[in-house]
Structure 1
Amino acid sequence: MSSELPETSATVAAVILAGGASSRLGGTDKTRLPIAGATALERVLRAAPHGRRIVVGPSGEDGGDLAIRHGARFVLEDPPRSGPLAALARGVADFSEGSDDATVLVLGGDMPMLRPETLRSLAARSAESGRVVALEAEDGHLQFLGAAWPLGRLREALAAVEHEDGGWADLSLRRLYAELGPGELGTLRALGAEGADIDTPDALAQVRRAAGPRIALAQIEVSEDLETTFEIVRLAVAEAAEEGAHLVLLPEATLTPFGTDLRAAALTHHDAFAQLLQELAEEHALVVVGGSFTPTEDGRVHNTVIVRGPNGDPHLEYRKIHLFDAFGADESRTVAPGDELVTFDLHGTRFGITTCYDVRFPEQFTALARRGAQAILLPLAWAEGPGKQEQLQLLLRARALDSTTVVLAADQAPPPDYAGKAARGIGRSAAVGPLGAIRQELGREPGLLLVDIDLEEIDAARASLPVLEHHVDLPNG
């Protein structure tokens, strides 16, 4: 079901330097240190664009598995332990067929907070400008192992600094960058902790504080056939678990799509759906969140988001507060509103829950943020219509800015031949940063969007834009 994000065609490879033990970390191989459930190296491999990935360093016990799961090739510099520039030269030599006008990412295996969208931006800017573009950390220093190079220029620079008797032993990366002339080096500012490496115990502690859980936004097509939907859900959760997710967010109305008998589904199938999510949470050791319907005493249903975790932690429900009586729809005729805000904690991050039409009400998002929410889950079954895609993107960005939270929206993928009036989604599941930038977004087709929460980014956003502190309760009228 995976739907890969668009990659720049200029990126032919990522060379990841991942060699050796760190004396400042007690002789530990820093690239194999665990960060939020995965090693630093695996997190870098996750972020690197799909395609050729060359890891220069010892394969270790996990190398075979990493090579298979991430399409990586492990190589060693020659001679071994001869320094970072020798390692880089070995990695470049491993794809000698690459053309000089191609772009290559040069990355460190100890930068676990790198993001796919940042690496795509590095590669795209390098390709467009013909320059080297390096990541600039929050403290202003450049990350030489977080950069995109035109391949031809990288080869030239390596040749220029090579020892007279051959090789690059004991040469630093600074020597390579010293070969760049005026105007040849551009920068891209890092956000949050993504510019951090883990050279020291303090840096390691900083990264571990910043690394929140991995979230999978499952954009699925919801069938009117229950068993078909259940199988789609099983496959989506299994794929998310394989990708290291700690939480999977399914769309609104995953139990049964709008336009069907919601109360009949609630009475007959909600318990089975809740049980399925609980079983999947236990089987894959993650939290599953999905849209269902539960019956009310007045003959309607609640539009309910259920949250199920391993061993019942967490185990809760959110009932949609704002009902979609707009654009000709009449949700309140069959759905009763909820009246309670819901948050829960997972791996050091507090999540708030909203549903679809709630996104048009900023006070709900700011209220969740004032209750400590750093990220807000938003399952959707967005309705088609003129301008509706643009409205969704605008609202997601605005709500993130209102609350300085990460907004995580998972919509239904619309059935290709659907012509009915009931809301069946438009796709466009998205992750939006706390300052309103769309970080990642899917199209209309089914897919899985993976997002690693960076708590340092959220803290920085709230320090620079303290709207939660500046909030004033205005008088009625």
Structure 2
Amino acid sequence: MASDDDHTPGHTIAIVLAGGTSSRMGGVDKTRLPVAGTSSLERVLRAAPADHLIVVGPEQQDAADLQARYSARFVREDPPGSGPLAALARGVDEAKQLLAGGDPAFTRILLLGGDMPLLRTETLAALREHANDRVAALEADGRTQFLCAAWPLRRLRAALDAVAHPEGGWQDLSLRRLYADLGPDELITRPAHGHEGADMDTPEDLDQVRRSAGARIALAQVRISEDVADNFETVRRTAAEAAERGADLLLLPEATLTPFGTDLCRAAEQLHQAFEALIEQLSAQHDLVIVAGSFTVADGDRVHNTVIVRGPGAHADYRKIHLFDAYGSRESETVAPGTDLVTIDLGGTCLGIATCYDVRFAEQFTALARQGAHAILVPLAWAEGPTKSEQLRLLLRARALDSTSVILAADQAPPPDYTGRAPRGIGESAVISPLGQVQAELGREEGMLVVDLDLAEIDDARRSLPVLEHGTAADDVFRRSS
């Protein structure tokens, strides 16, 4: 899964080789094959954590659009069809021009294949961070992936010069030659997660990639104001950013409409309809499913803490089941509980929904997984307090393991000077793998995480750790014992 917001000194330039064809694929350009609603190349471009993007390959109709959206520079192979090392050398020449005479000492090159659509930003960032004095590459299925590696620019230029033909150039030389001269202490590898090392050399490869490629989710950690107009503007800005970054779904925090500690009945009766209309408008405008916390009318003087889902092919309301009657709070005094689990389908990715305090109840997450959820969306307005940060991270990781699902948690960013008792978030939004690893996280400030779900990773986790299956058997034992 991919996320961002990594900062390391020096320049990072991604060189993406995008002229790949395969006779076993009928001679088509593999980098332009559609995967989960976009091309393989575009998925690589949006995953690359780089200051500059250089695409080397034949001219294509999509070049102008991708250049505009990703500020990518497209350059042609010279001569065309001369092989991967010649294409890489062309990209390095372009990188030198980008540096405009600057010192390349701290410049790293991300060498990527345009037919590897499951690459993850956090993996590429980790490779980049190791490439100050060594070469770092992805290892998948026991093999070094030559087209997923980070090189110090000076070392890459030296390696190219060392393997060039005596008469000059690199025509018909393979990438293997580039790595063959690296000493044992010069190359380090990082194991692949899920199927991020997959490329597309055969129809079977393409089928596996398409089965693995899930939805792209943007998690927005935003500050919620007591001025609803400010919140509307926050949603507009955040939806535009999520769409620009290629997201299929935007997850906003619990209580995005208005924060706790305000008049929730008034919000439900007078403001929810306008909020829902805004979400629907932005969903249509950006071709984006939006998930956001609101409040809707319930019984008497209470409301429902409702997560609304609006967008292309998706329309659902989840009413928070477990109410926060803990740590001195009494949510049940103003909020009525919901009773139904909710899942949605997003282009073949099944997503469950839970809200904040629900995260303390494992059975809800395992039930969602048994209903087919690959990942569970958890909007939060987590309350401050001693050990609460540690509890949140522990609970998110535990629920991932309980359900062998990806957990996608988006919290409110806490107001810096807030001293009230109502929950206003602590930040710390996170992406948790189905085996409980923290794959991406934020601090307390506003920000956005973007993740590409790998459905094969979830299937692999459930095969290796079949707790959902075993838990069903245990349930039968417990029922017989009661």
Shift of residue 101, structure 1, vs aligned partner: 5.1
Rounded Cα–Cα distance in structure 1 between residues aligned with 2:20 and 2:352: 41
Shift of residue 76, structure 1, vs aligned partner: 2.3
Show the counterpart of 1:281. 283
Residue type of the alignment partner of 1:194: E
Rounded Cα–Cα distance in structure 1 between residues aligned with 2:222 and 2:84: 44
Show the counterpart of 1:232. 234
Aligned residue for 2:131, secondary structure, equals: helix
Residue type of the alignment partner of 2:124: L
Rounded Cα–Cα distance in structure 2 between residues aligned with 1:59 and 1:323: 57
Shift of residue 11, structure 1, vs aligned partner: 5.3
Shift of residue 272, structure 1, vs aligned partner: 1.9
Rounded Cα–Cα distance in structure 2 between residues aligned with 1:268 and 1:101: 56
Q: Which moved further from structure 2: 69-78 or 39-48?
A: 69-78
Matched, 1:142 2:144: yes
Show the counterpart of 2:118. 113
Rounded Cα–Cα distance in structure 2 between residues aligned with 1:126 and 1:405: 32
CA contact (8 A) 2:58 2:80 kept: no
Shift of residue 147, structure 1, vs aligned partner: 1.0
Show the counterpart of 1:258. 260
Q: Which moved further from structure 2: 56-65 or 286-295?
A: 56-65
Shift of residue 61, structure 1, vs aligned partner: 1.8
CA contact (8 A) 1:51 1:71 kept: no
Rounded Cα–Cα distance in structure 2 between residues aligned with 1:23 and 1:285: 36
Aligned residue for 1:80, secondary structure, equals: coil
CA contact (8 A) 1:352 1:376 kept: yes
Rounded Cα–Cα distance in structure 2 between residues aligned with 1:334 and 1:101: 56
Show the counterpart of 1:445. 445
Rounded Cα–Cα distance in structure 2 between residues aligned with 1:103 and 1:10: 8
Show the counterpart of 1:247. 249
Shift of residue 95, structure 1, vs aligned partner: 2.5
Counterparts of 1:408-423 in structure 2, within 5 Å, are 408-423=408-423
Show the counterpart of 2:136. 133
CA contact (8 A) 1:374 1:405 kept: yes
Show the counterpart of 1:212. 214
Counterparts of 1:56-67 in structure 2, within 5 Å, are 56-67=56-67
Rounded Cα–Cα distance in structure 2 between residues aligned with 1:52 and 1:178: 27
CA contact (8 A) 1:157 1:176 kept: yes
Matched, 1:345 2:348: no
CA contact (8 A) 2:4 2:450 kept: no
Tell me the alpha carbon deviations over residues 11-63 of structure 1, each in whole angstroms, 9 at most, x when there is no partner. Answer: 52111111254333223211111111221111111111130222111342222
Distance verdict in 2 for CA 1:98–1:454, change over 3 Å: farther
Shift of residue 421, structure 1, vs aligned partner: 1.6
Counterparts of 1:28-177 in structure 2, within 5 Å, are 28-96=28-96, 97=102, 99-100=104-105, 102-127=107-132, 130-137=133-140, 139-177=141-179
Rounded Cα–Cα distance in structure 2 between residues aligned with 1:305 and 1:436: 25
Distance verdict in 2 for CA 1:178–1:249, change over 3 Å: same
Cα RMSD for the two superposed structures? 1.8
Rounded Cα–Cα distance in structure 2 between residues aligned with 1:6 and 1:245: 19
Aligned residue for 1:94, secondary structure, equals: helix
**Percent of aligned pairs with the same amino acid:** 65
Shift of residue 71, structure 1, vs aligned partner: 2.4
Rounded Cα–Cα distance in structure 2 between residues aligned with 1:182 and 1:224: 59
Tell me the alpha carbon deviations over residues 369-390 of structure 1, each in whole angstroms, 9 at most, x when there is no partner. Answer: 1111110000011112222222
Rounded Cα–Cα distance in structure 1 between residues aligned with 2:457 and 2:42: 21
Matched, 1:436 2:436: yes
Residue type of the alignment partner of 2:367: A
Residue type of the alignment partner of 2:258: T
Residue type of the alignment partner of 1:400: A
Residue type of the alignment partner of 1:94: E
Rounded Cα–Cα distance in structure 1 between residues aligned with 2:172 and 2:149: 21
Q: Which moved further from structure 2: 265-274 or 456-465?
A: 265-274
Q: Which moved further from structure 2: 371-380 or 211-220?
A: 211-220
CA contact (8 A) 2:14 2:50 kept: no
Rounded Cα–Cα distance in structure 2 between residues aligned with 1:354 and 1:59: 46
- State the TM-score, normalizing by the size of structure 2: 0.93
Rounded Cα–Cα distance in structure 2 between residues aligned with 1:186 and 1:226: 51
Rounded Cα–Cα distance in structure 2 between residues aligned with 1:232 and 1:354: 22
Shift of residue 339, structure 1, vs aligned partner: 1.7
Shift of residue 143, structure 1, vs aligned partner: 0.9
Counterparts of 1:391-410 in structure 2, within 5 Å, are 391-410=391-410
Rounded Cα–Cα distance in structure 1 between residues aligned with 2:242 and 2:276: 18
CA contact (8 A) 1:86 1:168 kept: yes
CA contact (8 A) 2:366 2:402 kept: yes
> Runs of 4 or more off by more than 4 Å in structure 1?
none
Gaps of 5+ in 1: none
Rounded Cα–Cα distance in structure 2 between residues aligned with 1:338 and 1:327: 21
Distance verdict in 2 for CA 1:98–1:13, change over 3 Å: farther
Q: Which moved further from structure 2: 98-107 or 322-331?
A: 98-107
Shift of residue 412, structure 1, vs aligned partner: 1.1
What is the aligned length? 470
Shift of residue 173, structure 1, vs aligned partner: 0.6
Shift of residue 135, structure 1, vs aligned partner: 0.9
Tell me the alpha carbon deviations over residues 262-312 of structure 1, each in whole angstroms, 9 at most, x when there is no partner. Answer: 1111111122222222222222222111111112223211111111123xx
Tell me the alpha carbon deviations over residues 388-413 of structure 1, each in whole angstroms, 9 at most, x when there is no partner. Answer: 22221221111111111011111112
Shift of residue 69, structure 1, vs aligned partner: 2.0
Residue type of the alignment partner of 1:35: V
CA contact (8 A) 1:20 1:58 kept: no
CA contact (8 A) 2:9 2:106 kept: no
CA contact (8 A) 1:10 1:124 kept: no
Tell me the alpha carbon deviations over residues 127-168 of structure 1, each in whole angstroms, 9 at most, x when there is no partner. Answer: 3xx33221111x322210011123232222211111000010
Shift of residue 98, structure 1, vs aligned partner: 5.1
Distance verdict in 2 for CA 1:407–1:204, change over 3 Å: same
Q: Which moved further from structure 2: 337-346 or 5-14?
A: 5-14
- State the TM-score, normalizing by the size of structure 1: 0.94
Residue type of the alignment partner of 1:136: E
Aligned residue for 1:257, secondary structure, equals: coil
CA contact (8 A) 1:83 1:169 kept: yes
